[in-house]
Amino acid sequence: MNTPRSNFPPTAEMQATDAAHHLHPFTHGDALNAKGARIITRAEGAFLTDSDGNEILDGMAGLWCVNIGYGRDELAEAAARQMRELPYYNTFFQTSHPPVIALAKRLADLAPGDLDHVFFAGSGSEANDTNIRLARTYWAARGKPEKRVIISRKNAYHGSSVGAASLGGMQAMHGQGGLPIPDITHIDQPYWYGEGGDMDPEAFGRERARQLEAEIHRLGEHNVAAFIAEPIQGAGGVIIPPESYWPEIQRICDAHDILLIADEVICGFGRTGAWFGSETYAIRPDIMTIAKGLSSGYQPIGGSMVTRHVAEVLNAHGEFYHGYTYSGHPVAAAVALENLRILEEDGIVEHVRDTAAPYLAEKWLQLADHPLVGEARVKGMLAAVELTPDKAGRAPFAAPVGTVGLRTRDICFQTGLVMRNVRDSMIVSPPLILDKPEIDLLIERAVQALDTAKKGLEADGLMTAG
Ligand code: PXG
């Protein structure tokens, strides 16, 4: 891209202004302000540039979203064109507009099975809030208003709004603001490394899936509206379920009269080597949450895709009292359409499936040999390593959970790689367009960071099991 570089004040000045006026998401304000935010000023392909001119390989694709990579002029052009023509109009009051119509049709064609209707939102959180109301309204429309409970999972992430954070299973989030809201329950997650103990992973996967059936029995099937889950948990730490997990979940959802909601906010749009994680795991959702990769993060947009049957029930029921000012925003829709065109015409999903993911897997799994690594796991362009002071025993560190992960994250930044921590695991979810040399660079920097982290831990007496 040849656009001129924007002018901005010196780093320290921007940091001071940021500290004075900006409340950051998921951030301890005083801790951040004491050292100053890292300020990202530009990006191209898979590389970020910060305000000091450092180039950093973005192993997280922003926040799991910049699937096609940075700097695609076509998206800027699509936004500019749409802004000139119709920068805003709503989809309430029996109106529509060309980009939202085209995007709904495009998504219906792309989505698996007969998921062929979309309710648009501005984000994944909003879409999951929609799903709570949509699932309950669906059952009310079918004459079963008592089917209200939504079963989710501990350590799931479904967003930050009151509804979405209640669906999520993050204890720290529930502790702030009196969550979860009523009629949402959480079963255990299929996290073999952390919770599987001596069990065989496949047996563990089946056991965790069967908790859903036990929970349906406990609540009474007549009270349960839906089960929601990410095909692969992202923010929870790239938790890749054993192969036995999803078939058993699907069986249970089929056997009991409940809706299956697949939260595809991270897994959708090529991340797992198929258009949707539901295809990778042969899941047949009734509702699918989409966001992030839908626009590769170039515009905020999300949505709930539902099957023809769910849409028919809803449409026949009467008015669904729900919607956002920016549901189906024309600029976001135009950008999403252009993003989907690029994903398709550049063959990016095939690139992931045939080239990038197999190569990443080959290289990433070798990290399991590193003395600091207890497990390396990968699926598509999602990968994690679990850090441990004791490889054989999969033991946690003696230091408080997250201490080692956070240190390692900071080292990664200094090494020129965004690889973030979840607890004491390190995870990546890079742009899908990475080529082999870029994957080599990612691995090289990851190894360098792990080596540096290990030395530091040894020097500080932290390589001890807790
Ligand atoms: N579902 C899933 C599976 C997500 O990962 C959301 C819903 C909510 O989307 P919005 O657009 O409302 O943010 C997400 C978002 C992290 C991190 O630190 C992850 C997300 C968002 C912010 C941070 O891993 N995922």
For ligand 1, pick from 58, 63, 166 the residue to mutate: most ligand atoms within 8 Å of CB. Answer: 63
CA–CA separation, 102 and 105 (whole Å): 5
* Ligand 1 geometric centre to CA of 13 (Å): 30
First to last CA, the chain: 50
CA–CA separation, 33 and 343 (whole Å): 39
Enumerate long-range contacts of 434-443, CB under 8 Å, 24 or more apart: 434/46, 434/356, 434/360, 434/381, 435/356, 436/355, 436/356, 436/359, 438/46, 438/57, 439/356, 439/359, 439/360, 439/363, 440/363, 441/57, 442/57, 442/59, 442/360, 442/417, 443/363, 443/364, 443/366, 443/367
Q: Which domains does the chain have, with CATH numbers?
A: 38-68+348-459 (3.90.1150.10), 74-345 (3.40.640.10)
- Phi then psi for residue 265, to 5 deg, are -60, -40
Per-residue pLDDT band for 3 (boundaries 50, 70, 90) equals low
* Ligand 1 geometric centre to CA of 123 (Å): 9
Q: Is residue 65 within 6 Å of ligand 1 at its C-beta?
A: no
Answer for the pair 360, 273: CB distance below 8 angstroms, yes or no. no
- 209's enclosing H/E stretch is helix 201-219
* Ligand 1 geometric centre to CA of 413 (Å): 21
> What is the reported pLDDT for 384?
98
> What is the reported pLDDT for 269?
98
Strands 115-121 and 302-307: antiparallel
Per-residue pLDDT band for 205 (boundaries 50, 70, 90) equals very high
Q: Which residue type sits at 353?
A: R
> What is the reported pLDDT for 108?
98
> What is the reported pLDDT for 6?
80
> What is the reported pLDDT for 314?
97
CA 206 to chain centre: 24
pTM of this prediction? Answer: 0.98
Q: Which residue type sits at 15?
A: Q
CA–CA separation, 110 and 275 (whole Å): 8
**Mean pLDDT across the chain:** 97
Per-residue pLDDT band for 181 (boundaries 50, 70, 90) equals very high
Tens digits of residue pLDDT in 392-439: 888 999 999 999 999 999 999 999 999 999 999 999 999 999 999 999
Q: Is residue 155 within 6 Å of ligand 1 at its C-beta?
A: no
* Ligand 1 geometric centre to CA of 181 (Å): 19
Answer for the pair 386, 364: CB distance below 8 angstroms, yes or no. no
Average pLDDT over residues 327-339: 98
> What is the reported pLDDT for 392?
84
Q: Which atom of ligand 1 is nearest to the CA of 156?
A: 3
CA–CA separation, 301 and 100 (whole Å): 11
> What is the reported pLDDT for 4?
55
Strands 55-58 and 47-50: antiparallel
* Ligand 1 geometric centre to CA of 460 (Å): 34
Phi-psi domain of 296 (left: phi exceeds 0; alpha: psi -120 through 50; beta: other): left
* Ligand 1 geometric centre to CA of 2 (Å): 32
Q: Is residue 67 within 6 Å of ligand 1 at its C-beta?
A: no
Tens digits of residue pLDDT in 57-77: 999 999 999 999 999 999 999
Tens digits of residue pLDDT in 134-163: 999 999 999 999 999 999 999 999 999 999
CA–CA separation, 110 and 315 (whole Å): 22
> What is the reported pLDDT for 1?
46
* Ligand 1 geometric centre to CA of 296 (Å): 13
Token readout for 241 is 């379920």
Average pLDDT over residues 288-317: 98
Q: Is residue 159 within 6 Å of ligand 1 at its C-beta?
A: yes
Q: Where are the beta strands (DSSP E) in 248-372?
A: 259-263, 287-290, 302-307
Q: Is residue 158 within 6 Å of ligand 1 at its C-beta?
A: yes
- Over 70: is that where the pLDDT of 167 sits? yes
Tens digits of residue pLDDT in 336-389: 999 999 999 999 999 999 999 999 999 999 999 999 999 999 999 999 999 999
Q: Which atom of ligand 1 is nearest to the CA of 126?
A: 12
Percentages (nearest 5) of helix, strand, coil residues in the chain: 45, 15, 40
Per-residue pLDDT band for 2 (boundaries 50, 70, 90) equals very low
| Other CB atoms within 10 Å distance of the CB of residue 317 | 13
Q: Is residue 189 within 6 Å of ligand 1 at its C-beta?
A: no
Token readout for 129 is 């809030």
Q: Is residue 125 within 6 Å of ligand 1 at its C-beta?
A: yes
* Ligand 1 geometric centre to CA of 157 (Å): 7
Omega before residue 180 within 30° of 0, cis: yes
Average pLDDT over residues 251-259: 97
* Ligand 1 geometric centre to CA of 31 (Å): 23
For ligand 1, pick from 230, 232, 292, 304 the residue to mutate: most ligand atoms within 8 Å of CB. Answer: 292
Answer for the pair 453, 377: CB distance below 8 angstroms, yes or no. no
> What is the reported pLDDT for 99?
98
CA–CA separation, 437 and 453 (whole Å): 24
Measuring from atom 19 of ligand 1, which residue has the nearest CA?
235
